[in-house]
A and B are shown apart, each in its own frame.
Chain A
Amino acid sequence: MRPIISWIGILIATLLAIGGLASASPSDSRIGISQGQKDQLKALAANTRDRTGRERDAMRRARMDLLLVYSSFNIDEHKAKAARERVSAAQMSLLNIHLDNEIALRNVLNSDQFQAFRDLMKRRMRNPEMLVLAPPEEDVLDRLPNKAMLDSLGVSADAQKQLLPSPEGFKAIQGLRRSSAQMLDLCSAYTLDSTAARKLIDNIHQDQMSLLAAQHHRQHTIRQILSEDQFGRLQQEITKRMAERERRHDRRR
C-alpha cells in the first residue's frame, strides 16, 4: 500500500506543477500575447473593419454614379470628373487605412509576437497569390462592347482595333500589381519603413488614377465609333449584364 501512496503523491505534485506552468503562460499561447494586448488587437480590428466598410460603401456609390454618367451618349464631364474624384478619394482612403492598420499592429505587438502572428496568418492564407481584378462596375465597361457585339453592329475591323485594351491600362495594372506586392512584402517585416510604404501607396494610387483616366478615354473612343442608336443597344446589354450580376450577388447573400 505504501508504494501506491508514494506514487499518488508524486502524481499530484506533478499535476500541480503543470497547472502552475499553464496558468503562468500567456493568454494566447499561439502568439504569446497578454489579455491586454488581445483587447487592443480586437479594438483595432473592429475600428479597421468599420473604416474600410465605410470607404468601400462610398467607393461603390461613386462607381455606380460613374457608371450612370457613362450610360449617357453625351458624357456630362462635370459629373464624370466629380465621380472619378470620389472614386479616387475612396481608393486613397482605403490605402491609408491599410497602412494605419499595419502601424497600429506594430504598436501593440513586439517583434517576436508580430512574427508569430504573421506565421499564424500564413498558415491560414497558405501563401496566397494575388490576382488583381477590375471592380465590377468598371469591368462591365471594359468587357463591352465585345467583338461579337461590334460585329453585329457592323463596326469595321479598323474601328474595333481602337477599342482593344490600351497599353497604358495594361501598364497601370502591371504597376499596380507590382507596387501592391512590394507593399505586402514591406508589411511582412516588423520594422516597417513608413516612408517607403507611403511612396508605394502613392505609386499604387497613381496607377489607380491612370486606370480611371484610361477608362474615361475609352468611353470617349466608344462614342466616336458608335452612333447614338448603336450606343443605345450597347447600354441595353450593359444594363442586362449588371442586372444579372446583381441577381447572382443577391443569391449568394
Chain B
Amino acid sequence: MSECAECAAALREEIACFKRLACLPDEQPINDVWALVRSRTRPSHVRPLVWLHGLVATNLRKAASATVALAVLAVGFYNVVLVNPQPTIPPNHTVIAVYSDDPLGGHTDAVIDSIDDM
C-alpha cells in the first residue's frame, strides 16, 4: 500500500463506500411479496381425494377397503331391508263387530284381505 498510490486510493474509496452504506436507514418494503407467495403456495389442510388415494394406494389396501365397504353395506342392507324392525302396536284396540251367525267371519275376512294386499 505504501508503494502503490493507486492501490491506497482504491482502498480508501472502498472504505468510504462501506461507511456510506452503513449509514443508510433500514427500510422495510410496503408489500411483502414473499408473504403473498407463501399464502398462495401453502398446501390445504384437508384434501379428501389425496387422503383416500393414500389410504388405498396399493392393491392390498384397495382390496381390504373394498371388502370393508362391502361388509358394511351388506350388514346395513340386511338390517334395513331384509329384517324389518317390528313397529310397536299401539295399545288402543280396534273393536270388530261380528254377527252371531258368523262369529269367525271377521278373522277369515282379515286373512283374505292380508293375502290380497301381498
Instruction: Give chain A's interface residues, CB within 8 Å of chain B.
Output: 2-4, 6-7, 10, 13-14, 17-18, 21-22, 25, 28-31, 33, 38, 41-42, 44-45, 48-49, 52, 56, 59, 63, 87, 90-91, 94-95, 97-98, 101, 105, 117, 119-135, 138, 173, 176-177, 180, 183-184, 187, 204, 207-208, 211
Contacts and interface: CB of A to CB of B under 8 A. Distances in A.
A56 B102 contact: yes
A97 B108 contact: yes
Interface stretch (B9-17, B29-37, B85-93): B85-93
B5 interface: no
Contact of B93 (A28, A95, A127): A127
Q: Secondary structure at chain B's binding surface: helix, strand, loop or mixed?
A: helix
Q: Secondary structure at chain A's binding surface: helix, strand, loop or mixed?
A: helix
B22 interface: no
15 contacts: A10-B65, A10-B69, A42-B118, A45-B111, A45-B116, A94-B102, A117-B114, A121-B110, A125-B94, A128-B93, A129-B95, A134-B99, A138-B100, A176-B103, A184-B104
A76 B81 CA distance: 65
Nearest to A26: B82
Contacts of A138: 100
Contacts of A45: 111-112, 115-116
B110 A125 contact: yes
Q: What are the 8 closest A-B residue pairs judged by CB atoms, nearest first?
A: A3-B53, A180-B103, A45-B115, A98-B104, A128-B96, A45-B112, A128-B94, A129-B93
